[in-house]
Structure 1
Amino acid sequence: MADVGTIVGIISLGIQVADGLVKYYTAYKDRESETAHTVKRLTHLLGILEVLRKNLVDRSFQPDETSLLETIKSSVGDCEDLIKELEKETEKFTQSASGSVTAAVRVTGRRLAYPFRQSTLQKLDEDIAEICANLTLALQVLQQQDIGSVQDEIQDTKALLELVRADQISTEIKNWLNAPDASINYNDACKKKYPGTGLWFIKSPQFSTWLQTANSFLWLKGFAGCGKSVLSSTIIQHTLRHRRSNPAIGIAFFYFTFNDDAKQDTSAMLRALILQLAPQLQLHTTTTTTNNKDALLPRLHQNYRGGTPPDPALLDTLHQLITRFDDVYIILDALDESPRHKHREDLLQALAEMRSWPGPELHLLVTSRDEQDIREELVLEEEEVVVLKGGKVDADIAAFVAGHLKDNRRLRKWERFHGRIEEALTEGAKGVFRWVECQFSALEACPGSKTRLDALLGSLPRTLDKTYERMLYNIEEESVDDARRILTLLCTAKRPLKVEELIDGIAVELGDNAKFNEDSRLMNQDDIRHICPGFIEVDLNNEDRGPTVRIAHYSVQEYLESDRIVASGTARFSVRRKEANTEVASICLIYLMDEALCKACMTETWVFGYDAKYPLAAYAASSWADHYHEGDPLDPQLHRLALALFHDDENALASWANIYKWAGYKRDGLGDRILTPLYLAARLGLDPVVRVLADEATSSPTRPRKYYFESALITAATFGHASTVALLLTHSSAAINHLGFEGTALHLAARHGHLAVVDTLLAHGADIEARDYRGKSALYDAAAGGKDEVVRLLLERGAEIEPAGTYDTPLECAAAGGREAVVAMLLDRGLDPNRGRYARPLEVAREHPAVVRLLLDRGADVDLGTPTRPLALACSGGAVGVVAVLLERGADVEKAGGWAGLMERAVGNSDPKVVDLLLEHGADAKGEEGCHVTPLEAAAGLWNATAVMRRLLDAGARVNIGKEMTPLEKAAKKSSLPTARLLLERRADPNLGIQMTPLEAAADEMSESMMTLLINHGADVNKGLQMTPLEVLVQKEVIPFRLVELLVQMGADVNKGFKINPSEVALRHGYNLEGIVVIPGEIEVESIEGAGTLGEKKEMVIVIGPKAANSS
């Protein structure tokens, strides 16, 4: 057997070399931009080496594992020469540095050429990549030895869910982002997996290459029911195992879901991936700063607090997250379940953008059926495609069949025939897992006789379609109507329905005597399963919403909606989208207008129990209008029901709005208050209903209530219903320029980017220069929101480009929002890039490098400000990209406040990147001239700006120099332990202050941990500039005697003070400091969390009753 010690020796040498190289390169702060990639790869290598060594040392190899150990030895042995080559390189580097790493750091401005040459770094990267490839193989062999027997362990799933759980993200941000939970789908797929499922792929070179190759991509394609989702769960699980070799790896996944609208579009995918990756940054081991990590999601939230961020903003955030890891593995399952004519084109474009991102970090794997649009958009090389068919998939099916026969209690009656059943199902499956699942349903229902079994196995349907056709034939005749209703509701619902919701949907009767019939309610989920065996699944693990029901497989819904079922003998079960939506909309309206429901929900107390008594109410209230639009609004029954809702003396209308509000849906004009039936119909774009209500209003002898048409027009414009807007204008053209709370209809349409509505309003004579309550025209709203097409249309129709009477201009609005295309459009119209009212465009664009570059290209003066210069504003805002552009374009540092002023601004924003940039361009880290505080002093006054402070200290800032306070004094005043600890590590004088000594300041703040830290580093307990520390404490309104005792214990003189005698003051408060007696002896002083122990033996302290004997 190979010698484990030899292998471990090679690995230990590798750890030593890699660690030395990391320390060498990270010591040169001024060369980070050149060495960042190499340092990242070295850190990755170091992680693999350490995990591999731990696995080898901790494991006891058995005699029968000789071949395993030889394989590992071979892989590690292939690295030995490369590791020794790296060792030689390290020796060259240290020779050229002429001393230690610390000495190298102190050589200001020195250029050590060889280690930083591009050729040197490239050779290092090549060697590191080769070592990583070999070691990763060794680690996989070691970790996957028992992979087949443990792949479904609960521990793996638990570890994955803990990794992607967003506990570190604030509840406010999580609720705002509203990301769908992909772990539900992952758990469902894991339940269908048996030991060994998918191992053929895990052990394949394609999977290994995908894990190890930079910027890799794989498409797993296969026909419906071949097990893609189950295989995805296996891939996710084993990618997690790969991650254990490097905590700087991120993992995220998403399952597109045909029966859940919330899991079908690009936005849902991006929001889920972001929420999974963001908390993983907490475990990142590279040198990314805390400030930059934490800023991503809060910044996105701040920019789009009022709603869901657009896809480009989500993509940008995801990209930034990915670049903060060494590698990120993203698995996307079932692209084909994103509706082709609704969301898929945008999804494929987003994937194309993700694949175009520079950098090696992203590894993307997707699964789907082989559909033309997906195939044409992906444009892949042959090695990037894996076709799921053939013997390897058949082996997975065989394992599935064997496992299911063994585990399913309802199949125990066939135990004598398991071998025969296994052979028949495996042979008949032809690579389709779903076909096997359906045959199991038939076996469960089959009476337990050999004759019946022979008949069943002898007549197995050849295809999935034939299987579904037979299953529909077998539905009992008396259950056909309920089964058809169940399948229609589940195929059409906007999300998985709860069991109780589905039961109430079945109990609604359509036709001339339409009503909700409580007597028709089924008893429970078992009744649903009995009516539709094999077609549905009940998910019992939905903690938030209770058990939900869904179509069992995408192929079921596809068959029910296809033309193939129409040509079969089961056409009555066919689900046609338009007719099905019409039916579901009718069901929802009938339910909402149930008399008992309407009466009950008009009482405020009913809110606490409505969902239990009427479980379908919330879904019906929130979704009926969506089904109405996707159905046939002119269907006689649906049209009659919709009119009835709006004509029912506002009782049904009010109850619907109440349910909508109580169900917690987003406030968007419904539920806040009842306005008018016309307003609500216009808000939803219900044109047939709007037409009738508008006709009634204009023909009625009674004058409509004030603003009846105006409010309806504005809400229709706000929500983009162009046809509704046109319809309303034919009834009341006078409403077109009505000024509402947020502007005219044109303002609202422009603000939300509804091009067709803007066009309709202008065609009907809307005033293009109408002003809102801020005095602004619609062009402002479109420009500020980046609505390019609306801006173009307004300009073509003659909108004034610089309207008078406002405090800013459309150009300023667009520049401030980073709307590059709009800025270009306005500049093309001849606007002066240097002219503004509130501020110049270059000043307000201070967070947007692309806009700044565009303005400069078009003639903006880089130094013109009112009064603050653009460069100064950019430094204050932490906009490193803008600072870089302005310096590149020759911004005058002196006009912007000088290097000292700029450094103060950058430090105040606690952004190390801007500080680094200023230092690179000549800023003085000392900053002792030209500013009222030094940069280090300013940083020390922030709560935790240690990253910035390290940059300043490494660049020569003097640790004891300040103007208002010394840096340590300021840190003590702010009670910032991390800051004080760093300063003391860099030899700050614990007794030096300007206004107070640091210990005096800490006593003033009554910070026990800060006082302990300072004393631990030599602070004099009797020294002060205004008062002694003890004197400070005894003058507090409530004396902190624990801190007093600490000072006395450490030698404070109870009778020494600048202004008062501490012992006398304490005595007046009933405490006798003289009673604190120090008895000779030795004891370790108690450690304060974060401050460390005092590090030496002090005299034992005994407090002899601190209360005075005669306190009166």
Structure 2
Amino acid sequence: MDGVSVASGIAGLITLALQVSGAIAIYVTSIKDRAKNIEELHNELLLLSEVLSRLRDFLTSERAKGRAFDTNSVLQKAISDCRDRIERIGEKLKPLEGGPISRAIDKLKWPFEQREVNYLIDNLRRYGQTFHFAVTVEGCDLLARTSEDAAKGLQEMLEVSRKITELSAQMGLSNEEAAKRAAQIQEIIALIPMLTSTALDVTELTHAARMAELREQERRTTDILDWLAPVSWLHKHRDLQLRRSEGTGVWFLQHRDFLAWVQADTVEHDLLCVGGPGAGKSILCSLIVDHLRSTFKDPNVAVAYYYYDYSDQQSQNPINLARAVLRQLSMNGNSVPSAVAEFYQRTRNDVKDQTWFHDLLSIIRRVAATYTQSFVIIDALDEADIKSQHAGLFEVLDALRDSGRAKILATARSHVLNNTMRFNNPVMVDIIANSHDIRLFLARTIEERPDMADVLDSKLKEQILETLSQKANGMFLLPAMQIRTILDQVTKADVRRSLTHLSSNLTEAFQSTIRRITSLPAARKDLAFKALMWISHARRPLRATELQQAMAMRLDDDDLDLDNVASVRTIVDCCCGLVQVDSESSIIRLVHHSLEEYLREHDHGLFDDASRAITKICLKFLALDYAKQLPFKNRHNFHEALDLLPFLEYAATEWGFHASNVPIAEFRHQATAVLNDSLALIAIARIRDRHSFDFRKWKEKAWHWAYSGGAGISIVATFGLADLLEILVNENKQNLCLDARDVYGSTPLHEAAMQGHDRVAEILIGHGAQLLDRNYGSATPLYLAVAYGRLSTVKFLLGFDHAQVNTPGPRGLTPLHKATEQGNVDIVTMLLQAGAVVATQDNFGMTALHLAARRGYLSLVRLLGVAGRAVGVQDKDGLCALDHAATGGYTAIVRYLLENGGNMWHKGHEAWTPLHRACRGGHTDIVSLFLEHDADVFAADRKGNIPLHLAVRSGNMSTVRALLDHDPQLKREQLFARDRKGSTPRLVAFFTAHYDMHKYLRAEEWALLGTEPSDANILTNAIERGDLEAVRVHLTNNPDGLNQCDENGQPPLHVSLQENQRDIVNFLLESGASIESVGFHGWRPLHIAASLGNLELVEVCLQHGADVKSRTRTRQTPMHKAASSRSASVVRRLIEAGADPNDRNDRGMTALHVAAHQNDIQIVRLLVNEHGMDVLAKDFMKLTAATWAERSGHLEVLAFLRREAKKVKSAARVVADRQEDTLPSSTFGLQMMHLPDTSIEDDIEEIEIEGEMDALLVSTEVSA
């Protein structure tokens, strides 16, 4: 190892020392009683950083040039050991999870005892002495040796120093320098044994670091999954599992149609399970999910489910369906898919509108495509709001089907199935409660009532089972209700009588149960009917505690009387089997959707005033003094307070929806009292926005909004309460405020437009609300109406100021851009009729036609193409709509644009034609279409790539064949075309590890040249066939061929590694093949194994002595190859073998730069967290790893690197602030330490790494 490589490792150690010293600096001023003790350690780290800086500079100077360091040298071990010890200090100083250090500074505890600090300081001084000793030619040479050799040399040097000291004393001369020298050598000698013992601890330390990384990864995975869909959304499956009787449903799992659906190799049809109410479809779904999961344990097979629920239609929209399914698709591995992580980083704070939904569908397509097979189970389509969710449901299913591997099973009642449901060749299976299953269910229910053992003898029990199963009429629900009535009897005679008076259908069963409730004592009857009212009319499922508090509140009470709260058991018992509590979610619900339909729709007169009663109770809660105290609480205390009064959440978010069904006179005074109370208003806002990601900013804006005089109007506008709005307007005519801005900057008109409340919008505009007002996101009311698909509201608003139709909003998008982005044909048509300009460009220079082409909306492309002349308009990257269509692979759109003025020869800023883009994406149909239109196959981009070069990079063989077979006259010139680096398409195939394509192109070249494989290629062909015997025979006859290169410059060992022919690899090595044989472009066997990310092959190479420091012609080490292989295990193994991740290639790139460019967060974290790589290090083009991540659009990697860079800079600032006070005058100034500048030049030319990394062309797909 050379001095420059050692210096690179020191740079990371300097960064680490500064970070830890910065963390210690906080304690200096915070822990007064230990300040001196803490400051000593702080100063020692600063001094060590300074000495390391001098050593780094020395090792890169001319004086140290040419020096080689043993892999196990004292200096290398000292650097490694020093890093480990400083990391230990840093680990102990880490703050508790949950907040920054500043928030807990008054609670900080210094984690070290005095004796520990003394020990740490002594060790750090030893390292400092060692590193200072190495800043000389003599000392450097000595410490470059192994421990044993260095110890001998140091002992000899120590003896010399002692003799000099004795002679100086005898001569009466000063011996101070010699004494210092001797002391320094003694410190180093004392350190050497410690280095040996520390080496034994490396495995333990590495394991601890890995465990910490795993914990961090698990935390981040949980954060992302919970953001996608709270785990509570999946609780219903667990509840159904618990209710399922063992042994039921087996008949379905053995049904021929189900078996055919499961076992089919292709996705030939969807399976629809159709049954009447109460047939047990949901329970059956839970069984199907569990069966599939137990059958397919392969991580490449996914099983996802979604249960529609009649009581939760408000939240069960297509967006949340997509989120729930994607969460489950993302749960099969140890970490979430990178596409999901990037999507989270990019959009976690975005509004979840239709545009976000379409982006979500795109991510589902990408993730679903990673599975060899996926099963998606959708239950109870009849319980979904079909009118509002129908289209979105099938958009999600179509996104899943796009992978070509998704099998769909759905359950529903027959009446909801119609021709508009886009199922794929559906096969229907009738679901009727099986008699055997009913008996199992009833037997289990009886077993759960041991108190009935004396009443039900075996004969009577059999009579119950037989009677109920025969009269079930194909339902589980009916006998489930009947058995409850039977088990309430007290004698055998009562049981027999009840068996003769069984209900024959569900309506009769419900009516019978209602009569039983009516006959209860008054208090219990009232409690039951109140519970049934709340559960059946609530807008979302209520948790048991919410229901208890809602029922306990009385309108004439000043506060909630907790003594008035009924127990959950009492509520359930009083309802006589009509309600149940889910064990996982604690939600209390009706036993079935059929009961909800009965309670809502039948003319039984039970709950005629439900909306009024619920509205008034909600407003009563919002007026409580307890609620008005919430705005003053910190985040933690606020959540605790809300836990104590959970119904407040429902009251704040749902009261207005109930009020919309109640005459205004019934609740006017209650509502205006709340809406004119600023504290009540901010409490409502606090509850509604409780998950705001930046509470401090929210607080300032919310208080201003609540006291603006228009907050009440804003809330009323959100709910669409027009009559109440008119009252508030009339009451506040003198000081009418219609521009009160909530925390998002939205006015009441924004809220009305977003929610689609036309009458409210009309009232607001009539009293002066401004149509062109923009919220903090630059959106006008019209823009929001478009964004949320409010067709009637868009039409209404367009009847006013026409200037709004072309007013730009977020990112320069006009309403037309937004409607196009969402694929909304009706709104696009309406906007065009209102005068929307098609050629208007957003901040990225994109027109609506660009967006339509980019998202694949053919109907909109046609509509916009007719309406405006925007086909040739270029965005800021010089791209036209045709470029985006070709990039996305939308053949029909490409054809349309070509026929309507699209320029096939146009080039963007990177000089790619549309044909280049289609080739890079591997879109064979589009490539063929361009070729039919005589596209130029020799058009070269700025790197000299013709389309064939990019087709090779795509890895799509059919695309390559399409280019070569289109015109045989052009084949030769394409095959031998060279880019600016001199690479032909075949060489690019080799560099990008598309070895099958490399062989194909090689064969095509041979065919054109009329040559046969030479003798040099006979062995290569045998290896490629995997013919070990032929290899053995050939080498027996031609022993010199063992290390000879074939026509491609590849030795046999290289070819066998590329082909992953392990038996041949072992045979060649046993036969004496050189593990350091040099192949094409200077690659060695370890480079190939590392580039494949194949740990087993890497291990074979290392066992045979492969050099981890070997370099290709462009100075790529095996570590560079591993960093682009997406194999963290290979990276770790190479480092353990002595590879230095700080090694640079001829572009100045380290392994961290490469991993950041390749979007491998796992390797990036490993290199930074475990090996202390400098996140601020720049390559020769002045690009940091973060810059590479940013330019490549890898947002998760970028966020991580920016956080790490911030830590380094913060530590550096602490050092700078304390430099004069903490450093003795005799020490070297920290001005010698130059932290890298992280500024980024705007126009940095794109770089390609040895032709192996994909071109950085994400700039052509700028996110809208």
TM (norm. structure 1) is 0.63
1:726 offset after TM fit, Å?
A: 1.4
Q: Secondary structure at the match of 2:248?
A: coil
Q: Secondary structure at the match of 2:747?
A: helix
Residue 552 (str. 1) matches residue 591 (str. 2): yes
Equivalent pair of 1:397/1:426 in contact (CA under 8 Å): yes
Q: Matches of residues 316-715 of structure 1 in structure 2 within 5 Å?
A: 325=371, 327-343=373-389, 345-346=390-391, 361-371=405-415, 373-374=416-417, 384-389=427-432, 393-416=434-457, 417-447=460-490, 449-475=491-517, 476=520, 477-510=522-555, 513=556, 517-519=560-562, 521-542=564-585, 547-563=586-602, 566=603, 571-574=604-607, 579-604=609-634, 606-629=637-660, 631-632=661-662, 634-648=663-677, 650-662=678-690, 673-674=702-703, 675=705, 676-677=710-711, 678-697=713-732, 699-700=733-734, 711-715=747-751
Q: Matches of residues 14-25 of structure 1 in structure 2 within 5 Å?
A: none
Q: Matches of residues 202-241 of structure 1 in structure 2 within 5 Å?
A: 202-213=253-264, 214=266, 215-241=268-294
Gap change, CA 1:822 and 1:906, over 3 Å in 2? same
1:863 offset after TM fit, Å?
A: 1.5
Gap change, CA 1:208 and 1:997, over 3 Å in 2? closer
Higher deviation after alignment, 875-884 or 676-685: 875-884
CA distance in 2, matches of 1:799, 1:212: 52
* Partner deviation per Cα, 1:1038-1070 (whole Å, 9 max, x = no partner): xxxx99xxxxxxxxxxxxxxxxxxxxxxxxxxx
- What residue identity is the alignment partner of 1:646? L
Q: Matches of residues 289-300 of structure 1 in structure 2 within 5 Å?
A: 295=339, 298=342
> What is aligned with 1:894?
938
1:976 offset after TM fit, Å?
A: 8.7
1:505 offset after TM fit, Å?
A: 0.8
CA distance in 2, matches of 1:603, 1:196: 52
Residue 994 (str. 1) matches residue 1113 (str. 2): yes
CA distance in 2, matches of 1:488, 1:769: 46
> What is aligned with 2:828?
791
Gap change, CA 1:608 and 1:440, over 3 Å in 2? same
Equivalent pair of 2:772/2:780 in contact (CA under 8 Å): yes
> What is aligned with 2:110?
none
Equivalent pair of 2:322/2:396 in contact (CA under 8 Å): no
Q: Matches of residues 921-1000 of structure 1 in structure 2 within 5 Å?
A: 921-922=963-964, 929-931=979-981, 948=994, 951-952=997-998, 955=1001, 966=1082, 978=1094, 993-994=1112-1113, 996=1115, 998=1117
Q: Secondary structure at the match of 1:869?
A: coil
Equivalent pair of 1:747/1:778 in contact (CA under 8 Å): yes
CA distance in 1, matches of 2:439, 2:927: 62
Gap change, CA 1:926 and 1:694, over 3 Å in 2? farther
Equivalent pair of 1:410/1:444 in contact (CA under 8 Å): no
> What is aligned with 2:904?
862
> What is aligned with 1:72?
none
> What is aligned with 2:1177?
none
Q: Secondary structure at the match of 1:386?
A: strand
Gap change, CA 1:183 and 1:973, over 3 Å in 2? closer
- What residue identity is the alignment partner of 1:206? D
Equivalent pair of 2:882/2:897 in contact (CA under 8 Å): yes
1:900 offset after TM fit, Å?
A: 5.6
> What is aligned with 2:862?
824
Q: Secondary structure at the match of 1:847?
A: helix
Q: Percent identity?
A: 20
CA distance in 2, matches of 1:333, 1:1008: 41
Higher deviation after alignment, 379-388 or 712-721: 379-388
Equivalent pair of 2:986/2:1001 in contact (CA under 8 Å): no
Over the residues paired in the alignment, what is the CA RMSD in angstroms?
Answer: 5.2
Equivalent pair of 1:940/1:979 in contact (CA under 8 Å): no
* Partner deviation per Cα, 1:662-701 (whole Å, 9 max, x = no partner): 256999x99862423223333443322322233334x317
Gap change, CA 1:724 and 1:328, over 3 Å in 2? same
1:591 offset after TM fit, Å?
A: 1.0
CA distance in 2, matches of 1:622, 1:827: 44
Higher deviation after alignment, 198-207 or 173-182: 173-182
Equivalent pair of 1:682/1:716 in contact (CA under 8 Å): yes
1:728 offset after TM fit, Å?
A: 0.9
1:828 offset after TM fit, Å?
A: 0.6
Residue 252 (str. 1) matches residue 304 (str. 2): yes
Gap change, CA 1:995 and 1:886, over 3 Å in 2? same
1:880 offset after TM fit, Å?
A: 4.2
* Partner deviation per Cα, 1:1074-1112 (whole Å, 9 max, x = no partner): xxxxxxxxxxxxxxxxxxxxxxxxxxxxxxxxxxxxxxx
1:266 offset after TM fit, Å?
A: 4.0
Aligned equivalent of 2:753, options 717, 732, 736:
717
Structure 1: gaps (5+ residues): 1-165, 284-289, 1027-1041, 1044-1112
Aligned equivalent of 2:872, options 834, 837, 853:
834
Q: Matches of residues 1028-1067 of structure 1 in structure 2 within 5 Å?
A: none
CA distance in 2, matches of 1:682, 1:655: 18
Equivalent pair of 2:489/2:495 in contact (CA under 8 Å): yes
Residue 184 (str. 1) matches residue 225 (str. 2): no
Residue 200 (str. 1) matches residue 242 (str. 2): no
Equivalent pair of 1:589/1:624 in contact (CA under 8 Å): yes
CA distance in 1, matches of 2:601, 2:957: 62
CA distance in 2, matches of 1:706, 1:368: 46
Equivalent pair of 2:922/2:955 in contact (CA under 8 Å): no
Q: Matches of residues 994-1033 of structure 1 in structure 2 within 5 Å?
A: 994=1113, 996=1115, 998=1117
1:753 offset after TM fit, Å?
A: 4.2
CA distance in 2, matches of 1:329, 1:199: 19
> What is aligned with 1:131?
none
- What residue identity is the alignment partner of 2:722? D
Equivalent pair of 1:871/1:896 in contact (CA under 8 Å): no
1:540 offset after TM fit, Å?
A: 2.2
Higher deviation after alignment, 968-977 or 427-436: 968-977
Gap change, CA 1:581 and 1:523, over 3 Å in 2? closer
CA distance in 2, matches of 1:750, 1:559: 37
Structure 2: gaps (5+ residues): 1-216, 965-970, 1003-1047, 1055-1077, 1148-1169, 1172-1264
CA distance in 1, matches of 2:243, 2:1119: 66
Equivalent pair of 2:536/2:596 in contact (CA under 8 Å): yes
Gap change, CA 1:685 and 1:913, over 3 Å in 2? farther
- What residue identity is the alignment partner of 1:493? A
Gap change, CA 1:959 and 1:1018, over 3 Å in 2? farther
By relative contact order (CA 8 Å, sep 6+), the higher-ranking structure is 2
1:501 offset after TM fit, Å?
A: 0.7
CA distance in 1, matches of 2:900, 2:814: 25
Equivalent pair of 1:937/1:970 in contact (CA under 8 Å): no
1:928 offset after TM fit, Å?
A: 6.2
Q: Secondary structure at the match of 1:921?
A: helix
- What residue identity is the alignment partner of 2:288? I
Equivalent pair of 1:514/1:590 in contact (CA under 8 Å): no
